[in-house]
Amino acid sequence: MIQSEVFIFNIGKDSRRRSFSVHSKVVAATSSYFRALVNNGMVESCTKTVEYPDVEPEDFARFIEYAYRKDYCVPTWVHEKTDEKDKALPSPPRSWFGQHSSIPLSGQPARQARIGLPSPTPLFGQPAPQAGFGQPSSKTLFDQSLPEKKKKPTFEGGDAVRAHFDTRSYLAAEDPRTVMLVTFEPKHNIAPNQDFTPVFLGHARLYTFACMRGVDPLRRLTLHKLHRTLLGFQLYSRRVWDIVELARYAYNQGEDRKVDGTKDELRQLVLEYIVREVTVFGKHPAFLLLLEEGGEFVVDFWSLVSKEKI
């Protein structure tokens, strides 16, 4: 792959325009869309130059990182300069009628009650067979006992060597691979002045990019990382605006509801999170502004609320 021809992708416009050099086989391996772009004999494949003026350079940089590494660094949050005090709102959420919400996030299974482990039972629930007809016996035909297997001798100090070997570690925390893997993991907020809007929108825009160009593994990866971020997100009052911006983006950019009622996966994920935390969003000014804008979000929101009888 790294010996293949290099394509130039010109991303963004005006002062934000950036050029990226990418190996053709690397980008072609991500989807049939890019494979055709590189090999179909059209203008782009002949000039080895592609123009994407409507894509943000930082979003395309994450796509290229994914193309080479099959993962991407999560976007970073922004420090909001303010002295305003705020506390995390209670979790788990309660419904408007004071009951715990039973709506799991998309991809999150409902919790099951802990049940004691059953005692070991042979296959099909039958009792363990005894020596006899059709079963091996500890006696030979001449009624002589078979010799017992001898236990392997243990040597003094063997356990220490085993423990030492099993716990060996060669990677250091500052090694490039270790540092890189840490940057791939979704991060959570711990203070109200951590603005996660760039984090949410970074994942969401990359999701849109993947959907438009058929990069399905990347589409699923963005949803996974966004879901993980939402699971650990501390919903401070000021941070409600971050979620509202994510919902606004999903409903402005995402695919509209299909005839059979199927919703875009990003919309569904954000919608479930808002309904899951409906007691926080219900009376928040940012959320009320979103409702005033109307559109499919309002219909989807009230449909899910009424369905769950919250």
Q: Can you tell me whether residue 7 is helix, strand or coil? A: strand
pLDDT for residue 129: 44
Q: What is the mean pLDDT of residues 233-237?
A: 96
Q: Which residue has the higher pLDDT, 146 or 223?
A: 223
Q: What is the pLDDT of residues 87-117, one digit of tens each?
A: 555 544 444 433 444 444 444 444 443 434 4
- pLDDT score, position 309: 72
Ranges 6-15, 238-247, 258-267: which has the least confidence: 258-267
Contact indicator for 6, 20 with CB cutoff of 8 Å: no
* Phi, psi torsion values for 66, nearest 5 degrees: -65, -40
More confident residue, 28 or 96: 28
Interval 243-298: pLDDT, tens:
999 999 999 997 888 888 889 999 999 999 999 999 999 999 999 999 999 999 99
pTM value is: 0.75
Annotated domain spans of the chain:
1-56, 71-106+178-308
21, containing H or E segment: strand 18-23
Could you tell me the pLDDT band of residue 42, with boundaries at 50, 70 and 90?
confident
Round to whole Å and give the CA distance between 121 and 261. 46
Give the right CATH number for 1-56 from 3.30.70.20, 3.30.70.380, 3.30.710.10, 3.40.50.20.
3.30.710.10
pLDDT of 201 reads 98
Rounded CA gap, 169 and 243, in Å?
41
